[in-house]
């Protein structure tokens, strides 16, 4: 027998020498993180990173070790400088507010350091539970399929790849033929991730037809039918229609049941981008508008938006498990499963998406559902819709404000109309107003453009927001506008 090698490096590892000292620092970090969350209603919404901290982010690659206390202090120094989405008056884009509970699951997930590509271990069962819950949430059949991912962008790629391969036949995965004939349909209000998925899948963004919307910002169904007919007449192969449940500009929900009818008649795959809006199925107020979700072939949505799981966490739900698996499964010999032992477990996520190694996102999702329950999560969604509706009503009352789109879900788009400014100047004024608001730090909206008009866009996907925050926002808009008016010479 050869003697085991042992040398000076043998006794070292990346584990701490002194676990008690390590624990002290770890507890300090937990305290700092809790303080951050406890005070999330206070202070400025967004504060740019100070120059000193920016400088700390342009250091050479460290060759030597740094004491853990110093590392922890450095990490803690970044805590105040998030985008602001933990603050109740963050109204920009569509960001979730996050939840303190997730601090707990993230600690456990880091300790387990689980890789959920496959194999038989505890984390896999937790993810399977999350998949089951998502099925139940959307009334999908027990044999449907799903995978936890980082967000709707990649979930869209996974869903549309399944749709593409179903349309072309799975042998296209080897032969790579025929993509030039495929075309799909979505509305002009679609999120950019849909066109990006067409690009990534080799379909080309021109193969995505953007159908105009009606006055409610919902896809014009007559125009959809016409375009499908034209494409068929031109010898193209329509394969997918993509509905939106909660559009990014104004929060509109396409007529999903009507889209399901058209998809059925035309034999198209129905995919729904429900990034934030699909979660509305948990709100008794929104659920009636979302009944069509259960007829979809696939849904992409996020836990990190309206369900407030901390970034990042999204999901791809696919009705046909077989299609989903055949679009991705391709296991080489070193990943072969076994009947028992560590390589067992019938379901390996590697067979359902582009990634092999995957972290334990499922745990924070599991915690969110378990800790709060769907009823409370739904109440938070209803509350945000009421706040957006209240804002819409107040905008309509105020002479200086003009509502630019109906309020359906959590988004209210309007502009400040300063007398004496023409259309171009108004656009510049509202752009400047939003930047001024962000810099003032009291409330942070973002902008969008609606029918050529620059809009102040208020999105409320935030469980911390109260009605009083809406009043503060309106006062702040008036104050910031008064300051700006002189700059614009009116």
Q: Which residues contact ligand PLP by CB under 6 A?
A: 94, 151-153, 191, 193, 246, 248, 273, 275-276, 302, 314
Q: Quote the radius of gyration of the chain (alpha carbons, Å).
A: 25
Least distance from C-beta 100 to ligand PLP, angstroms?
21
Question: How many CA atoms lie within 13 Å of 280's alpha carbon, on the beta-carbon side?
Answer: 32
How far is CA 40 from each of CA 14, 37, 47, 74, 359, rounded to the nearest angstrom? 34, 5, 13, 20, 27
304 versus 463: smaller Cβ distance to ligand PLP: 304
Least distance from C-beta 160 to ligand PLP, angstroms?
13
152 versus 462: smaller Cβ distance to ligand PLP: 152
Question: Residue 58 burial by CB count (10 A; 0-12/13-18/19+): exposed, middle or buried?
Answer: exposed
200 versus 335: smaller Cβ distance to ligand PLP: 200
Question: Residue 97 burial by CB count (10 A; 0-12/13-18/19+): exposed, middle or buried?
Answer: buried
CA 18, 21, 25, 26 dihedral sign is positive
270 versus 426: smaller Cβ distance to ligand PLP: 270
Least distance from C-beta 153 to ligand PLP, angstroms?
3
Least distance from C-beta 300 to ligand PLP, angstroms?
7
377 versus 411: smaller Cβ distance to ligand PLP: 411
Least distance from C-beta 302 to ligand PLP, angstroms?
5
Q: Compute the distance between CA of residue 379 and CA of residue 94 in angstroms, rounded to an integer.
A: 18
HEC string of 298-361? EEEEECCCCCCCCCCCEEEEECCHHHHHHHHCCCCHHHCCCCCCCCCCCCCHHHHCCCCCCCCH
| Cβ atoms 401, 414 nearer than 8 A | yes
Least distance from C-beta 233 to ligand PLP, angstroms?
31
118 versus 243: smaller Cβ distance to ligand PLP: 243
DSSP 306: T
| Nearest residue to ligand PLP, scored by beta-carbon proximity | 151
411 versus 433: smaller Cβ distance to ligand PLP: 411
Least distance from C-beta 152 to ligand PLP, angstroms?
3
Least distance from C-beta 314 to ligand PLP, angstroms?
5
151 versus 349: smaller Cβ distance to ligand PLP: 151
Backbone φ and ψ of 478, nearest 5°: -65, -45
């Amino acid at each position: 027998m050869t003697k085991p090698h042992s040398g000076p490096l043998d006794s070292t590892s990346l584990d701490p020498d002194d676990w008690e000292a390590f624990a002290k620092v770890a507890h300090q970090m937990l305290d700092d993180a809790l303080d951050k969350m406890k005070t999330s209603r206070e202070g400025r919404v967004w504060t740019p990173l100070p120059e000193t901290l920016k400088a700390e982010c342009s250091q050479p690659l460290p060759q030597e070790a740094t004491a853990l206390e110093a590392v922890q202090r450095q990490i803690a120094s970044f805590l105040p400088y998030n985008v602001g989405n933990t603050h109740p008056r963050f109204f920009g884009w569509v960001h979730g507010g996050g939840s303190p509970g997730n601090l707990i699951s993230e600690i456990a997930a880091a300790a387990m350091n689980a890789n959920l590509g496959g194999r038989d271990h505890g984390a896999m069962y937790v993810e399977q539970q999350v998949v089951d819950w998502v099925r139940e949430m959307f009334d999908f059949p027990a044999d449907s399929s799903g995978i936890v991912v980082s967000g709707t962008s990649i979930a869209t790629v996974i869903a549309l790849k399944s749709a593409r391969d179903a349309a072309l036949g799975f042998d296209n995965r080897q032969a790579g033929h025929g993509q030039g004939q495929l075309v799909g349909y979505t509305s002009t209000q679609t999120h950019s991730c849909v066109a990006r998925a067409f690009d990534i899948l080799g379909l080309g963004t021109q193969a995505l037809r953007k159908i105009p919307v009606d006055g409610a910002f919902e896809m014009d169904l007559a125009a959809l039918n016409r375009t499908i007919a034209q494409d068929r007449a031109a010898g193209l192969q329509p394969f997918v229609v993509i509905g939106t449940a909660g559009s990014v500009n104004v929060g509109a929900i396409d007529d999903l049941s009507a889209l399901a009818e058209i998809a059925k008649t035309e034999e198209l795959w129905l995919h729904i981008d429900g990034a934030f809006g699909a979660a509305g199925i948990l709100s008794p107020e929104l659920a009636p508008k979302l009944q069509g979700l259960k007829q979809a072939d696939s849904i992409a949505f996020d836990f990190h938006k309206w369900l407030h799981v901390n970034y990042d966490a999204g999901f791809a739900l696919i009705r046909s498990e077989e299609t989903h698996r055949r679009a991705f499964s391709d296991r080489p010999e070193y990943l072969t499963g076994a009947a028992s032992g560590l390589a067992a477990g019938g379901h390996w996520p590697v067979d359902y998406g582009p990634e092999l190694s995957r972290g334990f996102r499922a745990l924070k999702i599991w915690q969110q559902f378990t800790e709060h329950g769907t009823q409370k999560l739904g109440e938070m969604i209803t509350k945000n819709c009421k706040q957006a509706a209240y804002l819409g009503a107040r905008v309509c009352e105020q002479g200086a404000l003009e509502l630019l789109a109906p309020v359906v879900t959590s988004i209210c788009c309007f502009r400040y109309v300063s007398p004496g400014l023409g259309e171009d100047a108004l656009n510049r004024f509202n752009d400047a107003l939003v930047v001024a608001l962000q810099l003032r730090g009291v409330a942070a909206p973002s902008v969008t453009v609606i029918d050529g008009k620059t809009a102040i866009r208020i999105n409320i996907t935030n469980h911390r927001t109260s009605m009083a925050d809406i009043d503060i926002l309106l006062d702040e808009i008036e104050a910031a506008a008064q300051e700006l008016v002189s700059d614009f010479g009116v």
